[in-house]
């Protein structure tokens, strides 16, 4: 690759490359922020499209149940085995039910459910809206006096924010059940004692903080899907790129916001 001026390869102009990358990153952050504000405004001001919201709740929430459930049960089971083995090194095997419950509700339930949604839902949203952009369907919608932010973006944002906490609640229950299954069937724990220990140890805030995280993650997943799909350019290739960017950026933002929220919650 050769730069236009002076025939100097772009590789040897690090300041220019860094400058351009920084500007592009800032442009994207600004674009996402403006998009998010428009999306939130569309969620809270009429006109609303309840049928679209219902469709998205089913697509995002209901159809994600199997993948979230399977992820949770295996994670809970594996977590139980690991904690039992690790705890055995200092004779703390008996606290395994409490640690499994704490790990699932505060951290793994919301994060894993969100990551599954990033792969399944964010990609699907980006592909669908990107294809609509490429085939002028979004332009057509505007000429039909319908705001695409209200018809396409707001129902997806709302549905993801509502659905992910519910999915996380399901993941919490199934994840703990996965731990229980391993504990009872393999590690000879008493089933009743396991449940009693879990229930008596877990506090409302453990579950609540996980559900708050899940709502934030739901917003991120839907926002990234909508943003990258809505701004897709360049036909089929652009749609493919939008899908990849939606999944990658969702995953990174989920981990980053998880750390920030955990810091906030522990400080509080």
Partner 1 sequence: MTDTPKLEWKGVKKRFDTAQVLDGLDLSVPAGRSLVIIGGSGQGKSVTIKVAMGLVRPDAGQVLVDGKDMIGMGGRARRELFSRIGVLFQGAALFDSLNVWENVAFRLINADGVPRKEAKDRAIQALARVRLGPEIANRFPSELSGGMQKRVGLARAVVANPEIIFFDEPTTGLDPITSAAINELIVDQVKDLGCTAVSITHDLASARTIGDEIAMLHGGKIVWRGPPSALDTSDNPYVRQFVDGRPDGPMSAAV
Nearest residue (CB) to partner 1, 147 versus 206: 147
CB 146 within 8 A of CB 48: no
Residues across the chain: 268
The only residue of 143, 192, 267, 268 in contact with partner 1, by rule CB under 8 A: 143
Asked if residues 246 and 123 have their Cβ atoms less than 8 Å apart, the reply is: yes
Q: Which of 21, 37, 88, 136 binds partner 1 (CB under 8 A)?
A: 136
Q: How far is the CB of 211 from partner 1 (least distance, A)?
A: 31
The closest of 27, 70, 51, 64 to 217, measured between CA atoms, is: 64
* Closer residue to partner 1 (CB): 22 or 135: 135
221 contributes a contact to partner 1 by CB under 8 A = no
Q: Which is nearer to partner 1, 21 or 135 (CB)?
A: 135
| CB-based burial label for 98 (10 Å; 0-12, 13-18, 19+) | middle
Residue of 27, 142, 196, 233 that binds partner 1 (CB under 8 A) = 142
- Answer for which of 85, 94, 135, 190 binds partner 1 (CB under 8 A) is 135
CA distance 263 to 29: 23
Residue 45 within binding range of partner 1, rule CB under 8 A: no
Residue among 132, 202, 242, 247 that touches partner 1 (CB under 8 A): 132
The answer to whether the CB of 132 falls within 8 A of the CB of 29 is no
Q: Which is nearer to partner 1, 143 or 266 (CB)?
A: 143
Alpha-carbon gap, residue 188 to 165, rounded angstroms: 32
Distance CA 72, CA 62 (A): 16
Instruction: Tell which residue, 221, 220, 241, has the closest CA to residue 229.
Output: 241
Give the residue, chosen from 4, 15, 144, 267, that forms a contact with partner 1 under the rule CB under 8 A: 144
Q: Shortest approach of partner 1 to residue 151 CB, angstroms?
A: 7
Handedness of CA 253, 259, 265, 268 (dihedral sign): negative
Binding residue count for partner 1, defined by CB under 8 A: 17
One of 10, 139, 193, 234 touching partner 1 (CB under 8 A): 139
Position 137 contacts partner 1 (CB under 8 A): yes
CB of 55: closest distance to partner 1 in angstroms? Answer: 8
Per-residue contact track with partner 1, 90 to 129, x per CB under 8 A? --------------------------------------x-
Closest alpha carbon to 72 in 120, 112, 107, 119: 112
List binders of partner 1 among 49-78 (CB under 8 A). 49
CA-to-CA distance for 109 and 114, rounded, in angstroms? 8
Pair 112, 221: CB distance under 8 Å: no
Binding residues for partner 1 (CB under 8 A): 49, 128, 131-132, 135-137, 139-147, 151
């Amino acid at each position: 690759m050769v730069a236009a001026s002076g025939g100097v390869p772009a590789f040897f102009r690090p300041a220019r490359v860094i400058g351009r990358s920084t500007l592009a990153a800032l442009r994207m952050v600004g674009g996402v922020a403006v998009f998010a504000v428009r999306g939130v405004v569309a969620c809270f001001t009429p006109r609303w499209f309840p049928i679209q919201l219902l469709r998205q709740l089913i697509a995002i929430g209901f159809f994600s149940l199997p993948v979230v459930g399977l992820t949770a049960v295996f994670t809970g089971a594996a977590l139980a085995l690991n904690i039992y083995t690790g705890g055995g090194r200092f004779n703390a095997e008996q606290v395994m039910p409490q640690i499994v419950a704490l790990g699932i509700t505060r951290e793994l339930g919301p994060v894993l459910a969100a990551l599954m949604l990033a792969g399944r839902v964010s990609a699907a949203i980006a592909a669908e809206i990107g294809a609509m952009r490429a085939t002028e369907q979004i332009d057509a919608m505007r000429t039909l006096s319908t705001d695409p932010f209200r018809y396409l973006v707001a129902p997806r944002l709302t549905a993801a924010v509502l659905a992910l906490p519910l999915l996380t609640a399901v993941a919490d229950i199934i994840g703990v059940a996965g731990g229980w299954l391993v504990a009872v069937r393999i590690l000879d724990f008493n089933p009743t004692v396991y449940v009693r220990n879990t229930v008596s140890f877990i506090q409302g805030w453990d579950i609540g903080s996980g559900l708050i995280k899940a709502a934030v993650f739901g917003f991120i997943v839907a926002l990234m899907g909508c943003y990258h799909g809505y701004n897709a350019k360049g036909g089929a290739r652009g749609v493919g790129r939008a899908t990849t960017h939606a999944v990658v950026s969702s995953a990174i933002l989920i981990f980053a916001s998880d750390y920030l929220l955990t810091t906030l919650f522990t400080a509080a």
